[in-house]
C-alpha cells in the first residue's frame, strides 16, 4: 500500500483519471528516455561507428558497421590503463584515509569527550560554509610547500578534510547508546577495541554511504587533480581525457569517455538501492 | 588493563556497586590519559583539516595582500592585487557570466527538478526505473558529460542541431555562439546534476502526510491549490536549503566552461573560478588569484548569511 499523494486514488481509478495517468506516464517515460538514456546510448554507439559514419548528417541511429577498434585504440593510444590505474589508486587511498581518520575523529568527538571538542566540531562544521573551490589556490600552494605535487598524497590527505562525511559519521555514532560502550569498557575493552568490535560493526550502513561518497568524489573531481598533477603519467582519467581530447579521433575519444564512465556507472547499478537511500536520507534529516 | 568488575548475573536487577572513588591524584592522571587518548584519535583528521581547510582560508587572505611567487619571499603590496584584478576587463565579464549562469541555472535547473519530482511521486509504475535513469547522468564523470555535450553542440554533425532540424526548428550555434554559449553550459550542468535534486525532492514529497491532501480535497481544493497550499509549504525548508546549496555550487562552476568553451567565445563563458585558475596557472599571479578567491569567499559568505537570516523564520516553522 502506498500512502496518499497529491492525486487521490479515487481520482486515478476513474476512467478519465486513468487516461490522464497513462498519458502522463507515457510522456514522462519518453521524456526520460530521450533526455537521460538516449545521450548515453549515443555515446555507447558513437564509439563503435566508423569515423566517417560518426560525422555524417543526418546521423545513423543504429551503427551500420560495428568497429571495436575505437575501444582498443583508446585503450592503447590514450594509455588508458595507466590513467585508470592512477584513478583507482587515488580513489582507493582517499577512501582508506577518509575512513580511518574521519572515523577515528568522529568517534573521539562523539564518545571520548575531548576538551575543546565543541570548538573543534564547530571549526569542522564551519568549513561547510566555506565554498571549497574558492580555496583551491591557497590549498594548492600548501600542497606545493609540502612537496606533494604529483604525489597521490595530494589527493588522499585533503580528502580527509571532508566535514560532511565526518559529521555524518559523528551523528551516527551519537545514536549508539553510551551504556553499550560502558558495558564493554567494564569488560576490559580499550577505546580502540570498542571502536573496532562494537562501534564499527554497528555502523555498517553509514560506513557504506561514506565509502560511496568518498569514491565518487575522487572519481568525479577535475579541477583539483588538474592542478596538482602536471606530470602526465600521474594524471587520473578525468584530467587525461581533457588533455588528450584535442588531438585524437572523435570515435577514439568517445570510446575513452565510455571507459572512463563505466566504473562509476557499474558501481551505481550494483549499489543503486543503497546510493539512492543514502541521498534521500541525508537530505531529509538535514 | 585488569578486569575491574565481573559480569553481573543476567536478569538480576542490581544497582552496579559503586567503586570507591580513586584518590584525587589518580583521578587527575586518569582524566589526563583519557584526554590524551581522545586527542590521539582526533589528531590525524584534525591535521588534515588544519592543513587543507583552515590554513588555506587564512592564507588566501594573507596572500591577497602579497606579491607571491612560489620559491621566493613574499612581498607586502597592500591592495595592489585587488586594484589590478578589478581593472582587468575579464573581471567584469567573469562576474557577469557567473551571476548570469547562476540565475539561469536557478530558472532552468531549479523549477524542472521540482516539477519532475512532483510528477514522479504520482506515478505508480516503474518507479525504480525512473529513479535510476534520472540519476544516471550524475554518475557519469563531469568531464565526460562536458565532452559529450561538446560533441552534441558541434555545429556540423552535432546531435543538438540534428534534433532541431528533425523538429523543423532553426539551428543554433550553441556553445560556439557568443550569445548562446552560456545557456548551453547551463543545459549541460542541469542535465548532469538534476538527478540528485530530483531524488532529494522525492524524499521530501514522500514525507508529506497524506491526510493533509485528503483534508484539502475535502475542503474543495483543486490540484493547483493543493500544490500551493500543501505541497509547497510542506517542502519549503528543503526547497530553500537546496536553492542555497545550488547557488553556492553554481557560483563555483569551472569544468563546463573549461572543457566545452575554454572561456570563449569573446569571454562569454569566463567564470570567476576560471579566472582564478587563469591568474594562478597562466599568469603565475598567485596574489591576484587569492584576491579573487577572497572576493568570491566574501560574496558567498555574505550571501549565505543574508539568505539564512531571511529564511530562518520559515525554516523554524516547517522544520
Report phi then psi at A108, rounded to 5.
-60, -45
Q: Which residues contact A65 (CB under 8 A, 6 or more apart)?
A: A49, A50, A53
Q: How far is A171 from chain B (nearest CA, A)?
A: 16
Interface touch A32/B254, C-beta < 8 Å:
no
pLDDT at B9: 46
Task: For chain A of 286 residues, list the mean pLDDT of each consecutive stretch of 10.
Answer: 74 87 94 93 91 82 86 90 95 96 95 90 90 91 94 96 93 90 87 90 90 91 95 94 90 94 93 84 52
pLDDT tens-digit profile of B18-51? 555 556 677 777 788 888 888 999 999 999 999 9
- Dig out the grid coordinates for B35 from the structure: 584526554
Interface touch B119/A115, C-beta < 8 Å:
no
Buried b (16+ CB within 10 A) or exposed e, B15-26: eeeeeeeeeeee
Q: Using a CB-CB distance cutoff of 8 angstroms, which residues of chain A are in contact with residue B59?
A: 138, 141-142
Report phi then psi at A7, rounded to 5.
-100, 135
Interface touch B118/A6, C-beta < 8 Å:
yes
Residue of B294 and B7 predicted with greater confidence: B294
pLDDT at A285: 44
pLDDT at B7: 46
Q: Across all residues in chain B, what is the average pLDDT?
A: 87
Cell 553510551, residue located = A178
pLDDT tens-digit profile of B68-102? 987 788 889 999 999 999 999 999 999 999 999 99
Triad A167, A169, A171: Cα angle to 5°: 65
Give yes or no for residue B123 having a pLDDT over 50.
Answer: yes
pLDDT at A8: 83
Interface touch B290/A138, C-beta < 8 Å:
yes
Q: Using a CB-CB distance cutoff of 8 angstroms, which residues of chain A are in contact with residue B254?
A: 133, 222-223
Interface touch A5/B213, C-beta < 8 Å:
yes
Q: Using a CB-CB distance cutoff of 8 angstroms, which residues of chain B are in contact with residue A55?
A: 156-157
Residues 135-164 of A with CB under 8 A from B: 135-144, 146, 157-158, 160-161, 163
Residue of B316 and B239 predicted with greater confidence: B239
Tell me which H or E stretch contains A201. Answer: helix A200-202
pLDDT at A104: 95
**Is the Cβ of A41 closer than 8 Å to some Cβ of chain B?**
no
Torsion of CA A264, A265, A271, A276, to 10 degrees: 100
Q: How confident is the model at residue B319 (pLDDT cuts 50, 70, 90)?
A: very low
Spatial distance between the Cα atoms of B232 and B229, rounded to a whole number of angstroms: 7
Q: How far is A270 from chain B (nearest CA, A)?
A: 11
pLDDT at A88: 96
Spatial distance between the Cα atoms of A229 and A239, rounded to a whole number of angstroms: 9
The model carries a pTM of 0.89
Residue from the list B3, B141, B252 with its beta carbon closest to the beta carbon of A131? B252
Q: Which of A228, A225, A223, A260 is nearest to A241 (CA)?
A: A260
pLDDT at B23: 63
Q: How far is B255 from chain A (nearest CA, A)?
A: 7
Share of chain B above pLDDT 70, in %: 90
**Which residue of A54, A88, A123, A137 is the best one to mutate when testing the B interface, meaning the one whose CB has the most B CBs within 10 A?**
A137
**Is the Cβ of A108 closer than 8 Å to some Cβ of chain B?**
yes
pLDDT at B2: 43
Spatial distance between the Cα atoms of B144 and A220, rounded to a whole number of angstroms: 9
**Is the Cβ of A116 closer than 8 Å to some Cβ of chain B?**
no
CB pairs under 8 A between A and B: 303
Amino acid at each position: 500500500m502506498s500512502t496518499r499523494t497529491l492525486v487521490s486514488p479515487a481520482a486515478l481509478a476513474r476512467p478519465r483519471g486513468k487516461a490522464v495517468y497513462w498519458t502522463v506516464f507515457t510522456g514522462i517515460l519518453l521524456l526520460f528516455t530521450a533526455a537521460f538514456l538516449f545521450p548515453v546510448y549515443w555515446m555507447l554507439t558513437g564509439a563503435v561507428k566508423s569515423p566517417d559514419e560518426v560525422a555524417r548528417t543526418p546521423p545513423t541511429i543504429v551503427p551500420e558497421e560495428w568497429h571495436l577498434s575505437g575501444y582498443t585504440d583508446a585503450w592503447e593510444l590514450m594509455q588508458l590503463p595507466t590513467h585508470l590505474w592512477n584513478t583507482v589508486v587515488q580513489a582507493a587511498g582517499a577512501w582508506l584515509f577518509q575512513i580511518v581518520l574521519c572515523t577515528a575523529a568522529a568517534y573521539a568527538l562523539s564518545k571520548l569527550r575531548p576538551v575543546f571538542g565543541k570548538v573543534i566540531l564547530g571549526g569542522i562544521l564551519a568549513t561547510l560554509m566555506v565554498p571549497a573551490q574558492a580555496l583551491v589556490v591557497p590549498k594548492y600552494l600548501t600542497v606545493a610547500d609540502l612537496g606533494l605535487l604529483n604525489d597521490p598524497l595530494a589527493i588522499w590527505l585533503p580528502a580527509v578534510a571532508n566535514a560532511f562525511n565526518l559529521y555524518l559519521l559523528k551523528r551516527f555514532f551519537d545514536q549508539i547508546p553510551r551504556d553499550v560502550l560502558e558495558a564493554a569498557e567494564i569488560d576490559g575493552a580499550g577505546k580502540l577495541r570498542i571502536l573496532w568490535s562494537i562501534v564499527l560493526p554497528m555502523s555498517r550502513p553509514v560506513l557504506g554511504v561514506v565509502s560511496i561518497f568518498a569514491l565518487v568524489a575522487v572519481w568525479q573531481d577535475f579541477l583539483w587533480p588538474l592542478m596538482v598533477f602536471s606530470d602526465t603519467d600521474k594524471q587520473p582519467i578525468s584530467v587525461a581525457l581533457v588533455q588528450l581530447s584535442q588531438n585524437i579521433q572523435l570515435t577514439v575519444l568517445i570510446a575513452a569517455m565510455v571507459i572512463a564512465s563505466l566504473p562509476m556507472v557499474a558501481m551505481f547499478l550494483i549499489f543503486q538501492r543503497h546510493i539512492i537511500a543514502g541521498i534521500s536520507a541525508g537530505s531529509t534529516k538535514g | 588493563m585488569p578486569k575491574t568488575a565481573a559480569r553481573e548475573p543476567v536478569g538480576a536487577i542490581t544497582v552496579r556497586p559503586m567503586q570507591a572513588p580513586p584518590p584525587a591524584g589518580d583521578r587527575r592522571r586518569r582524566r589526563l590519559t583519557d584526554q590524551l587518548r581522545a586527542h590521539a584519535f582526533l589528531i590525524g583528521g584534525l591535521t588534515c583539516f588544519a592543513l587543507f581547510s583552515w590554513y588555506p582560508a587564512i592564507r588566501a587572505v594573507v596572500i591577497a595582500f602579497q606579491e607571491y611567487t612560489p620559491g621566493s619571499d613574499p612581498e607586502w603590496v597592500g591592495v595592489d592585487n585587488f586594484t589590478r584584478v578589478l581593472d582587468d576587463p575579464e573581471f567584469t565579464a567573469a562576474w557577469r557570466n557567473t551571476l548570469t549562469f547562476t540565475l539561469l541555472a536557478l530558472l532552468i535547473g531549479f523549477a524542472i527538478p521540482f516539477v519532475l519530482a512532483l510528477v514522479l511521486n504520482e506515478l505508480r509504475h516503474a518507479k525504480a526505473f525512473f529513479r535510476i535513469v534520472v540519476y544516471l547522468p550524475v554518475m557519469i564523470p563531469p568531464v565526460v558529460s562536458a565532452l559529450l555535450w561538446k560533441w552534441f553542440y558541434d555545429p556540423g554533425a552535432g546531435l543538438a542541431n540534428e534534433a532541431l532540424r528533425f523538429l523543423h526548428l532553426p539551428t543554433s550555434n550553441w556553445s560556439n555562439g557568443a550569445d548562446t554559449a552560456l545557456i548551453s553550459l547551463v543545459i549541460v550542468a542541469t542535465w548532469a546534476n538534476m538527478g540528485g535534486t530530483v531524488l532529494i525532492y522525492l524524499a521530501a514529497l514522500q514525507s508529506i502526510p497524506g491526510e493533509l491532501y485528503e483534508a484539502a480535497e475535502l475542503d474543495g481544493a483543486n490540484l493547483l491549490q493543493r500544490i500551493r497550499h500543501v505541497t509547497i509549504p510542506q517542502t519549503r525548508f528543503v526547497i530553500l536549503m537546496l536553492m542555497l546549496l545550488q547557488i553556492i555550487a553554481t557560483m563555483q562552476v569551472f569544468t563546463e566552461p573549461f572543457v566545452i568553451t575554454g572561456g570563449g567565445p569573446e569571454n562569454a563563458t569566463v567564470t570567476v573560478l576560471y579566472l582564478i585558475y587563469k591568474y594562478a596557472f597562466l599568469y603565475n599571479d598567485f596574489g591576484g588569484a587569492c584576491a579573487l578567491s577572497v572576493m568570491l569567499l566574501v560574496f558567498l559568505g555574505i550571501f549565505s548569511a543574508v539568505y539564512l537570516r531571511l529564511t530562518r523564520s520559515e525554516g523554524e516553522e516547517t522544520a
